[in-house]
Amino acid sequence: MTSRRLFLALLAVLAGALALAPVASADLLTPESGGSSNADDIDTLYKYVLVVAAVVFFVVEGLLIYATIRFRARKGAVASQVRGNTRLEVGWTVGAAIILVILATLTFIKLDEIRNPPDSSPEGLQLADTSRRLPPSGKSLNICVNGQQYLWRYTYADDCENADNVDAVFSYEEMVVPTETTVTLDIYSQDVVHSWWIPKLGGKFDAVPGYSNHTWFKVPAKYGEKPGGTVFFGQCAELCGQNHANMTARVRAVSPAEFERWYEQRRRDIQAARRAQAQAQQTQSESGAAAGSDES
Amino acid sequence: MAATAQASTLTPVPQVVAHRVEREERGFLSWLTTTDHKKIGIMYLVSTFAFFIVGGIEALLMRLQLAQPSNDLLTPQTYNQLFTMHGTTMVFLFVVPVVAGFGNYFVPLMIGARDMAFPKLNALSFWLLTAGGLVFYASIFFDAPECGWTCYSPLSDDTYLPSGGVDAWIFLIHLTGLGSLVGSINFYATIANMRAPGMGWGRLPLFVWTILTYSVLLILSLPVVAAGVTLLLADRHWGTNFYDAANGGSPMLWQHLFWFFGHPEVYIMVLPTFGILSEVLPVFARKPIFGYKAVAASTIVIAFLGLLVWAHHMFTTPSPSIVLVFFMMSSFLIAVPTGVKIFNWIATLWRGTIHYTTALLFSVGFVGTFVLGGITGIFLATFPIDWQLHDTYFVVAHFHYTLMGGAVFGIFAGLYYWFPKMTGRMMHEGMGKASFWFMFIGFHTTFLVQHSAGLEGMPRRIYEYADIGNLATLNLISTIGAFTIAFGVLLSMINVLRSLKTGAVAGPDPWKANTLEWFVPSPPPKNNFDVIPRIRSVEPMKDIRREVLAQSRVPAGAAAGAAGDEG
């Protein structure tokens, strides 16, 4: 009875393993990547850990399954009354520790590439020096990412503290960036905690009120080749209220030339809108003043 | 009378003693007023399993909503309320107190005590838990909380969630927390002072070791979250700004306080179920536990390290590098004692004669599942990888592997193992095994695919998702799995109800087990032990059985002589 059940269990495991094969090829076992080198490096680090993990997994589960089948109660079988084996126990304690040392070392090796942005490529957008120290050249396109229930606002400015005061270009929900250019993000929140995450462009970083958080990405040229560029999708990853699920974010990567056209157009549109608004306010206050003088 | 008086001076021999000279109290009132650790234990188990079913139904509703993309079965608000209720219920009203239930019933029996150290405080613990549960569930009649079981500030501040739901959640933490605190002190005092003669620390049953560690962890971490939620209450109602960045406070403070409690809480939930395993596996492998000292010591090491890993929940927050590195390393370290436990359990099975009872199946299922939960924990502890995985379904899968495939399977192992002792009747084994297989297969169907959903970019706590990638398929599989688990749980519940009336009579020691609770009749009499045997090893019942065997070989004349002495 029990052996049949175990056989069925084994069969299920086998079926599972077979099902996993296509799953693995469909990238169901690794994180999203491809849009930026830090996302690729995280993916690589993940794969290192996955290899180690797979070995540990199959060894441990193998031993467990073997033990449960091989040592089931049989007629005449006598359980060995062993109470321990210090050498063996020290062995697997040290073994586990060594595996973790290896994983920690791999992490530290990849860490710099993941954390520190590289310079923009020569074919990328050439930018003036910024105050940001992140890439070695000191040059990056800095965007202030401001999370608010339930959308993201992007301001193209170096000084995010005063981003709203200066005449900076901004947009909502869709961020447009040039390819081959190092884009640094300063992430803020103006209400509750949000989390900025575009899976293909690297890890997520929380937007916490009162704090600034930082990340970067650099999109390869191939994504900006066709007009209109490529859109990378993401969404808020920290519960921020009822419509948390609808707080989506898009990053559209375009060629540097196209980006400059977009940026210029956007700047002019915003200026025009501001002028129109100022004019409307002026006429309003003038008519208000006129009305006031009438009354007096 | 003379026989019982003299028995304490004799060697411990199981004997027929006249119990129930006093009529046992019965009826509803006897439960309300009881201070008997066994009755309180039963009340804990019944009420926590009731909460388990409610929390399970909440999970099923969520899985229905997520069965297909852009579903509109539930409103976003209802969905947020459901996952808040589900998480809070399972943590505060099921896994933590159900362990207290088993602990209440079995710690005194296993250490040879006649009750807990403070029976009245023990009753208070239970009633505080009940009060916490009622206050929390009362919120469904106005506005249930919708900030998740972590209730991050500022979302939980009155600006964003003015309704009383968050307050109900705060009072739940206060009431159940106070209950657990009182209970923990009680466990500690009981285990430290009321052990049977001869039961040194080196002979303490491993389940009792884990309850002791559980108590210490609760005593250390609960005051922190109690302070944390009190500050939140003050922020919400009395104009303070502890967590308000605009007024000199910090939302990060909440996260630190919450997780300083929240991560030890994970071990609070899982360590006692490790203890259940360490009792069940040796009994059904017919072997002593492999490396008693290592298993007991690893419990304490896990608890100690468990106090030092809290900020691995905060790898994506604006934190200095040194913090990230420290918490990565401490989280890695915790894998070592956990690995030791897993290897020791496998070694316990090794060269044994394994009897496939339901309790053993749940235990082996626990080990097999928990291994994967531990391994995915390593991915999450590596902070650059966590930047991708944090707050996605990968994390949901990970902690369900440890808390459901781990803790809940352990709890079911405990239920099947100890049910005969608590009721005097056996559970139906066939039904139990069917229940196990439905739960086991359903569990992996539900949660294995969630790793992939997370890797594909699906965040947690979203009421709907777009039909991109494989998300629709993965989520549908997950929903089917969830209902399979539910069916398995239902089978066990039916099994419990039917076995209460019609189960085979168990007798005192149906499993040929090792620990002292099997020395007394099933169910045990009110005073537990007429005679408390002297303990001479980790497995007192083995000694006692051996002695009975030796005595039964004694020539008839000598036995008659002994009987004559007594007369």
Q: Residues of B with CB below 8 A from A16's CB?
A: 444, 448
CB B169 within 8 A of CB B151: yes
> How far is it, in rounded angstroms, from Cα B424 to Cα B276?
20
We report the CATH number of the domain holding residue A239 as 2.60.40.420
Torsion over CA of B163, B167, B169 and B170, rounded to 10 degrees? 150
> How far is it, in rounded angstroms, from Cα B432 to Cα B436?
6
Of B154, B340, B387, the CB nearest to A204: B387
The per-residue pLDDT for B88 is 97
B231 alpha-carbon distance from chain centroid? 28
| pLDDT tens, residue by residue, B40-77 | 999 999 999 999 999 999 999 999 999 999 999 999 99
- Helix, strand or coil, per DSSP, at residue A126: coil
Question: Is the CB of residue B468 less than 8 Å away from at least one CB of chain A?
Answer: yes
**Given CA atoms B77, B78, B79, B84 in this order, what sign does their dihedral have?**
positive
**Residues in CB range of B372: below 8 A, 6 or more apart:** A57, B401, B405
Q: How far is A293 from chain B (nearest CA, A)?
A: 41
Of B154, B332, B461, the CB nearest to A104: B332
Q: B43-47: which pairs have CB atoms within 8 A and are 24 or more residues apart?
A: B43/B101, B43/B126, B44/B97, B44/B98, B44/B100, B44/B101, B44/B104, B44/B126, B44/B129, B45/B98, B45/B101, B45/B102, B45/B105, B45/B415, B45/B422, B47/B97, B47/B129, B47/B130, B47/B133
- Asked if A244's CB is within 8 angstroms of B291's CB, the reply is no
Question: Is the CB of residue B152 less than 8 Å away from at least one CB of chain A?
Answer: yes
Beta A141-148 vs A151-156: how paired, if at all?
A: antiparallel
Of A16, A115, A235, the CB nearest to B459: A235
Mean pLDDT computed over B540-562:
74
Taken as a whole, chain A contains a residue count of 296
The per-residue pLDDT for B27 is 82
Angle, helices B393-402/B429-455, rounded to nearest 10 degrees: 150
Question: Model-level pTM?
Answer: 0.90
- Asked if A78's CB is within 8 angstroms of B340's CB, the reply is no
CB atoms closer than 10 angstroms to residue B475: 23
Query: In the beta sheet, which residues pair with residue A169?
Result: A156
pLDDT over 80 (residue A200): yes
> How far is it, in rounded angstroms, from Cα B213 to Cα B307?
12
Mean pLDDT computed over B396-416:
96
| pLDDT tens, residue by residue, B225-274 | 999 999 999 999 999 999 999 999 999 999 999 999 999 999 999 999 99
Q: What is the 3-state secondary structure (H, E, C) of A128-175?
A: CCCCCCCCCCCCCEEEEEEEECCEEEEEECCCHHHCCCCCCEEEECEE
Closest C-alpha among A197, A37, A228 to residue A121: A37
Closest C-alpha among A72, A65, A59, A81 to residue A13: A65
pLDDT over 90 (residue B152): yes
- Name the residue with higher pLDDT: A115 or B494: B494
pLDDT over 90 (residue A15): no
The per-residue pLDDT for B8 is 44
CB atoms closer than 10 angstroms to residue B181: 18
pLDDT over 50 (residue B2): no
- Helix, strand or coil, per DSSP, at residue A296: coil
Is A38 within a domain?
Answer: no
CB B102 within 8 A of CB B269: no
Question: Is the CB of residue B464 less than 8 Å away from at least one CB of chain A?
Answer: yes
> How far is it, in rounded angstroms, from Cα B169 to Cα B135?
8
- Asked if B463's CB is within 8 angstroms of A67's CB, the reply is no
Query: In the beta sheet, which residues pair with residue A254?
Result: A178
The per-residue pLDDT for A283 is 83
**Element housing B323 (H / E):** helix B321-349
**Poorest-confidence range of A14-18, B453-457, B543-547?**
A14-18
Mean pLDDT computed over A187-204:
94
Which residue of chain A has the CA closest to B159? A191
Closest C-alpha among B110, B100, B113, B111 to residue B40: B100
Mean pLDDT computed over A122-150:
74
Q: Where does the pLDDT of residue B563 fall: very low under 50, low under 70, confident under 90, or very high at 90 and above?
A: very low
- Asked if A199's CB is within 8 angstroms of B294's CB, the reply is no
- Name the residue with higher pLDDT: B19 or B297: B297
CB A66 within 8 A of CB B301: no
CB A249 within 8 A of CB A198: yes
pLDDT over 90 (residue A20): no
- Helix, strand or coil, per DSSP, at residue B459: strand
Report DSSP letters for B489-528, one per residue: HHHHHHHHHHHHHHSPB--S-TT--SSGGGGS-SSPPTTS
The per-residue pLDDT for A5 is 62
Is A92 within a domain?
Answer: no
> How far is it, in rounded angstroms, from Cα B140 to Cα B133?
12
Residue linked to tokens 């966590």: B386
Mean pLDDT computed over B21-29:
75
Q: Which CATH number fits domain B31-566: 1.20.210.10, 2.60.120.380, 3.40.1180.10, 1.10.10.60?
A: 1.20.210.10
CB B278 within 8 A of CB B206: yes
Q: Indicate the residue type of A146.
A: N
CB atoms closer than 10 angstroms to residue A260: 13
Provide the domain limits for residue A177: 141-280
Of the CA atoms within 13 Å of residue B456, those in its CB half-sphere come to 22
CB A143 within 8 A of CB A184: yes
Structure tokens at B519: 């020395």
The per-residue pLDDT for A139 is 81
Residue linked to tokens 């056996």: B426
**Residues in CB range of A40: below 8 A, 6 or more apart:** A33, A34
> How far is it, in rounded angstroms, from Cα B299 to Cα A27?
37
> How far is it, in rounded angstroms, from Cα B559 to Cα B548?
12
Give how many domains chain A has, as a whole number.
1
Q: Where does the pLDDT of residue B148 fall: very low under 50, low under 70, confident under 90, or very high at 90 and above?
A: very high
Residue-averaged pLDDT of chain B: 92
pLDDT over 90 (residue B551): no
Residue-averaged pLDDT of chain A: 85
- Asked if B336's CB is within 8 angstroms of A12's CB, the reply is no
Of the CA atoms within 13 Å of residue A277, those in its CB half-sphere come to 6
**Poorest-confidence range of A73-87, A170-184, B429-443?**
A73-87
Between residues 321 and 360 of chain B, which touch chain A (CB distance below 8 Å)?
A: 321, 328-329, 332-333, 335-336, 339-340, 342-344, 346-347, 349-356
The per-residue pLDDT for B128 is 97
**Poorest-confidence range of A74-78, B439-443, B472-476?**
A74-78
Is A128 within a domain?
Answer: no
E-only strand ranges, B270-384: none
Q: Residues of A with CB below 8 A from B354's CB?
A: 67-68, 71-73
Q: Residues of B with CB below 8 A from A208's CB?
A: 245, 251-252, 317-318
A221 alpha-carbon distance from chain centroid? 20
Query: In the beta sheet, which residues pair with residue B425?
Result: B505
Q: What is the 3-state secondary structure (H, E, C) of B255-275?
A: HHHHHHHHHHHHHHHHHHHHH
Angle, helices B429-455/B409-423, rounded to nearest 10 degrees: 160
CB atoms closer than 10 angstroms to residue B133: 24
Q: Residues of A with CB below 8 A from B253's CB?
A: none
Is A43 within a domain?
Answer: no
| pLDDT tens, residue by residue, B85-118 | 999 999 999 999 999 999 999 999 999 999 999 9
